[in-house]
Amino acid sequence: MACPRCAIAGTAGSFRETMRASALGHVAMEARRPVWVWMAAAFCAALALAIGAMAVALIALHELRIGLGLEVTARFAFLLFWPAYVGGALTSLFGDAFLPLKTNARELGLCFAAAIAVHLGLVATLCLAGHPPPLMTFVIFGTAAGCTYLLALLSVRRVREALPTNIWPPIRFVAMNYILYAFILDFSRFQTYRLIDVIKYLPFLALAICAPMLRLAAWAKTALRMPSKVGLPRRTPYRDEWRGRVSGLQSGRGGGGSRAERPRLGRLWRSQRRFGGR
Ligand code: HEM
């Protein structure tokens, strides 16, 4: 017996299993569908923005400006990349209000990959029209595009599982930061301080520069609260000294300190509390 919709084959005797497998298959498809829907939506939105911008330029200036399409698609893609990059940091710094960004980081990243495909399509159009970008653009931004699709590939769990364990976090770290670097490089190419250029570049450059700072701040916060979570030793000299003093006091061996030493002990106590000790 075969399911007419998903062609999951079975035998006549295992009809129930077949229907169950078919239902599970459809459930799995339902669960998977949104990411493809969002990617298609991001692709279409980037395409519509590029066509719209180029059409306006064509009507107003009577020339086809593919460069404008590139600028628009790059900015749109950046607005998808940015929350994927900082979602986790914003959550650990400012709380669960940003949790949706953190939990949907993969979807946002895949939408970014879909949107940047339109950008790459425009680059191909530029090359076909006989105006290829300089070689260095291919080297620097081609690498960023490679990083984008490497991350997209590795976002598939089965592909990731085929790799040695622990290799995914460093790859993700390097690739995400290289893509961010490519954005910073391009957004810092301010040509003039005319209002239009300031609007076109400054907010995007500011967001791009803020992104690694937010991550660093989130890392520092975690390092202070839970050192072991970021690979730092849990014990601190203050904490060990404090422990020694307290156990000395408890066992009557002394070590509680004289009256003159009490302010120092107080400082130790406060610092060990800051490091999350008991
Ligand atoms: C993930 C990969 C990429 C990122 C993050 C990226 C980023 C950007 C950004 C931010 C802009 C806007 C620059 C501006 O407004 O002045 C831009 C434009 C442009 N990009 Fe990309 N790009 C990528 C891939 C590529 C590739 C692979 C090429 C070609 C080899 C390319 C060629 C161009 C060109 C020619 C422009 C127009 C520059 C201008 O008109 O001044 N990009 N890109």
96 vs 89, 99, 100, 102, 154, CA distance in Å? 11, 5, 8, 9, 27
Q: Does the C-beta of 121 come closer than 6 Å to ligand 1?
A: no
- pLDDT(65) > 50: yes
User: Which of 141, 147, 150 gets mutated to test ligand 1 (max ligand atoms within 8 A of its CB)?
Assistant: 141
**Token pair recorded at residue 76:** 């749109």
Query: How many angstroms separate the CA atoms of 170 and 196, rounded?
Result: 38
Residue 250, CB-side half-sphere exposure with 13 Å CA sphere: 6
CA 158 to ligand 1 center in whole angstroms: 31
Query: How many angstroms separate the CA atoms of 52 and 49, rounded?
Result: 5
pLDDT in tens, 86-111: 999 999 999 999 999 999 999 999 99
The pTM of the full predicted model, rounded to 2 decimals, is 0.76
- pLDDT(81) > 60: yes
User: Which of 79, 122, 186, 205 gets mutated to test ligand 1 (max ligand atoms within 8 A of its CB)?
Assistant: 186
Question: What mean pLDDT value characterizes the chain?
Answer: 82
**Token pair recorded at residue 226:** 């839970």
Ligand 1: which atom is nearest the Cα of residue 137?
30
pLDDT in tens, 187-214: 998 778 899 899 999 999 999 999 999 9
114 vs 41, 52, 73, 76, 180, CA distance in Å? 9, 18, 11, 11, 17
Residue that wins the pLDDT comparison between 231 and 176: 176
pLDDT value at residue 266 = 67
pLDDT value at residue 84 = 98
